[in-house]
Chains A and B, each alone.
Chain A
Amino acid sequence: MRILKQIFPPIPVVAFVVAIYGLLCLPKLSPDYAGDILAVSMPWGMAVSIAYGFWRVAMFHPALNEDYRGWLVTTPWNPRMPLPLGPPTLTCYDAIPLALILSFNAAASSIGILDTMMCFSAAYFLFCILVFSITGVSHVNWIVAFACGAVALTYDNAYMVAALLLAMHIVVLLGLKASLERHPQESDFDEDSKQRAWGQLEHPMGSVWKMERLSDARNKRNAGWPFSLPRLHMENCSIRPSQSVLLSLLAAWYLYVLVCLLPKYAIAEAVVSDDFYSSTVVFVCTCSAWRLIAYGWRCASPISIAGRIATGRLIVFGYDRMVVVPAMAIAAALLSYRFLSWLGVGLSMKLPVVVFLGIFVNTFFGPTLANWRLTGMHRIRRPILQKAEYTEV
């Protein structure tokens, strides 16, 4: 019962939600508007399901609550003990609030059990993804992201969707436990641990929560130009090869799901082919442009165009090499589409391959952004867009 008391939203909040719903429904009670109650109940039921999903992670996981986190490291709490304010993982007691929401949705709106659970799970997973990113359990994020595509693909099959949701909840449960295992504990560290947990000092261990990144960013911002130059964390601004592969696969997977779903909405393949091909090419070009912007940001050409012409140094390889990979990505996308068309491969495979190549080439091939910023033959520009924050001496 103690856990139910902890996880159940406060009674005043519940009363407030019910009162607002009542107020919205009041004008619809007249016989003239009888059918309109559904128009209020449906979004209300969905919103309540989503809000409960949000509540179950955001209010209970210390990674999302700085005060709670700071206090925890001063206590003897360790991951084998229950969290003092309640668990962020789902327990059997969650069945009670969920049953109440399901009953409301079944009685007052036409939202089914599965749809309610999907709304709840979507919000719950979203905040879990945030927690996993902060606490460095990002591999779970990939599993959840891929599984979301599978849920969309099998949306018509209720049993399959239910099975997938269950599997995702199990994976997320393990992820949450892993995230709590990584919580910095006072007994592990010296007297600075409290400050570290609050993000004021850099932590010597790579496996703990990455709070120091926030403080790095703050120090870098506060240090001004050019005193912040030595602080460039190489891991912070580069995509690892494994991430590159997973990101490309995920984008291709989502596009595959989308293309597979379209016939269900009676959209002709010819329309899909033309529109989606152009959109995919635009998308790949946007990825290339994004890479160019990221690499060119505050990294100017060492010599002006006039200087290049006058000195005959039309190509400064040390700088211009940043254009090679984006151009390769566009070429790979266009050529692969032509090649697969020639092979007679269907649209649902062709487009994902194009997107995969577009993202993969842009993110996989070096130099990495960190390497580029440290070793590229560019001129480092001052942060021109931050004039409001800085004063020039």
Chain B
Amino acid sequence: MINVVDVTQHYGIRPIIRDANLTVRSGEMVAVMGPNGMGKSTLLKTMAGILSPQKGHVEINGLVRRQSPEAELSIRRQVGYLPDHPWLPKRSSGRDFLLAVGRVYQVAEERLFDHIDRLFGLFDLRDKGDSSIMTYSNGQRKKLAVCAVLVAEPPVLLLDEPFTGGLDPSGIFALKRVLHSLAERDDVTIVMATQLPEMAEELAHKVAVLREGKIIAFDTLKGLQELTDGSGSLQEILEHLIHPQTLKNVEAYFERGK
């Protein structure tokens, strides 16, 4: 379970996140959505402990981030964070990299070896598994980064734009299935920032909508539809919530064209 309590975060003068409150229950998948620069990545970084909020705090499975060394270490082992730009060791092979990540997260060796093989099969990386990462294409690197966060087997996943960065359709399909299964079957708590409404619509139990650093809506798709008095797609709901003027402008454009 993730609890974001009154979090305010700013690097410089302008607050990126303002008084954000969010509760994600175990086994729930939440999509964080909003236009560029509205604080999606910052919110995830705060949850991941990369940033320390100026106000408020983040709780993961009952432990408050940065409160005590023991709690923080325990949280770090429970959380897998995929940033928008992960760094991979160029000279290592994909397999060595995943082994290292698994060991850092203290995954049992036998399960680790087996899981790596299955992940390579899933993401079509079998042929590249033992090659050095510098020979990977961008999409393959993204797949490997996704594999790294999955191989750690943490009960909480924080994924920043997991479906972008060159993933091919089969990779997207595989990731969708895996995330769905992790949330439904393994009770893994997942928060992902995404720009793709169709992904959120298909996968997420709830959607948090960010506008100018504030969470302006956090509900299920049905709840959001009720909130906006409509029954449209998530794309339309987002437009309604974030850019209410856009829909009117579109309608006005076609009205005047008749």
Q: Which residues of A contact B (CB under 8 A)?
A: 201, 215, 218-232, 234, 302-304, 306-307, 310-311, 313, 316, 318-319, 370-371, 374-380, 382-383, 389-393
Name A391's contact: one of B77, B83, B141 (CB within 8 Å): B141
Taking a contact as CB atoms under 8 Å apart, the answer to whether A302 and B104 are in contact is no
| CA gap between A219 and B72 in the complex, in Å | 20
Q: Does B199 contact A (CB under 8 A)?
A: no
| CA gap between A215 and B106 in the complex, in Å | 13
Nearest CB in chain B to that of A382: its residue: B87
| CA gap between A234 and B134 in the complex, in Å | 33
Contacts of A379 in B (CB 8 A): 11, 50-52
Contacts of A392 in B (CB 8 A): 85-88
Other than the given A319-B52, A389-B89, 17 more pairs (CB < 8 A) read A220-B104, A221-B89, A225-B86, A226-B87, A227-B152, A230-B76, A230-B77, A302-B52, A303-B11, A303-B12, A377-B52, A379-B51, A391-B88, A391-B90, A393-B85, A393-B87, A393-B142
Q: Which of B62-70, B173-181, B205-213 is near enough to bind chain A?
A: B62-70
Q: Does B215 contact A (CB under 8 A)?
A: no
Name B87's contact: one of A225, A230, A376 (CB within 8 Å): A225
Contacts of B165 in A (CB 8 A): 393
- Tell me how far the C-beta of B109 lies from the nearest C-beta in chain A, rounded to whole angstroms: 8
Name B100's contact: one of A219, A302, A303, A391 (CB within 8 Å): A219
Q: Which of B20-28, B32-40, B91-99 is near enough to bind chain A?
A: B91-99
Taking a contact as CB atoms under 8 Å apart, the answer to whether B54 and A313 are in contact is yes
Nearest CB in chain A to that of B103: its residue: A219
- Tell me how far the C-beta of A109 lies from the nearest C-beta in chain B, rounded to whole angstroms: 49
- 5 nearest A-B pairs in the assembled complex, by CB-CB distance: A222-B100, A225-B87, A230-B76, A310-B13, A390-B87
Nearest CB in chain A to that of B96: its residue: A222
- Tell me how far the C-beta of B46 lies from the nearest C-beta in chain A, rounded to whole angstroms: 10
Determine which residue in A223, A234, A391 has the highest number of CB atoms from chain B within 10 A of its CB, and name it: A223
Contact A234:B69 (CB < 8 A) given known A218-B100, A222-B96: yes
| CA gap between A232 and B68 in the complex, in Å | 14
Determine which residue in B52, B81, B152, B165 has the highest number of CB atoms from chain A within 10 A of its CB, and name it: B52
Taking a contact as CB atoms under 8 Å apart, the answer to whether A375 and B105 are in contact is no
Taking a contact as CB atoms under 8 Å apart, the answer to whether B66 and A226 are in contact is no
What total of chain B residues lie within 8 Å of the partner, measured CB to CB?
48
Taking a contact as CB atoms under 8 Å apart, the answer to whether B13 and A375 are in contact is no
15 A–B pairs (Cβ distance < 8 Å), ordered by A: A218-B100, A221-B89, A222-B97, A223-B97, A223-B100, A226-B81, A229-B81, A230-B73, A232-B73, A234-B73, A307-B10, A307-B11, A377-B66, A393-B88, A393-B145
| CA gap between A319 and B152 in the complex, in Å | 30
Contacts of A224 in B (CB 8 A): 86-89, 97, 101, 148
| CA gap between A114 and B192 in the complex, in Å | 71
Determine which residue in B69, B97, B109, B165 has the highest number of CB atoms from chain A within 10 A of its CB, and name it: B69
Q: Does B133 contact A (CB under 8 A)?
A: yes
Taking a contact as CB atoms under 8 Å apart, the answer to whether B52 and A318 are in contact is yes
Q: Does B149 contact A (CB under 8 A)?
A: yes
Taking a contact as CB atoms under 8 Å apart, the answer to whether A227 and B101 are in contact is yes
Name A304's contact: one of B11, B51, B77 (CB within 8 Å): B11
Contacts of B152 in A (CB 8 A): 227
Nearest CB in chain A to that of B81: its residue: A226
| CA gap between A371 and B141 in the complex, in Å | 33
Q: Does B49 contact A (CB under 8 A)?
A: yes
Contacts of B96 in A (CB 8 A): 222
Name A307's contact: one of B12, B67, B86, B104 (CB within 8 Å): B12
| CA gap between A18 and B107 in the complex, in Å | 56
Contacts of A201 in B (CB 8 A): 109
- Tell me how far the C-beta of B25 lies from the nearest C-beta in chain A, rounded to whole angstroms: 23
Near A by CB (< 8 A), chain B positions 99-149 give 99-101, 103-105, 109, 133-134, 138, 141-142, 145, 148-149
| CA gap between A303 and B51 in the complex, in Å | 10
Taking a contact as CB atoms under 8 Å apart, the answer to whether A393 and B138 are in contact is yes
Nearest CB in chain B to that of A231: its residue: B104
Q: Does B193 contact A (CB under 8 A)?
A: no
Taking a contact as CB atoms under 8 Å apart, the answer to whether B141 and A393 are in contact is yes
- Tell me how far the C-beta of A63 lies from the nearest C-beta in chain B, rounded to whole angstroms: 23
Nearest CB in chain A to that of B92: its residue: A222
Contacts of A390 in B (CB 8 A): 87-90
| CA gap between A225 and B84 in the complex, in Å | 11
Contacts of A225 in B (CB 8 A): 83, 86-87
Determine which residue in B76, B138, B141, B145 has the highest number of CB atoms from chain A within 10 A of its CB, and name it: B76
- Tell me how far the C-beta of A383 lies from the nearest C-beta in chain B, rounded to whole angstroms: 8
- Tell me how far the C-beta of A301 lies from the nearest C-beta in chain B, rounded to whole angstroms: 9
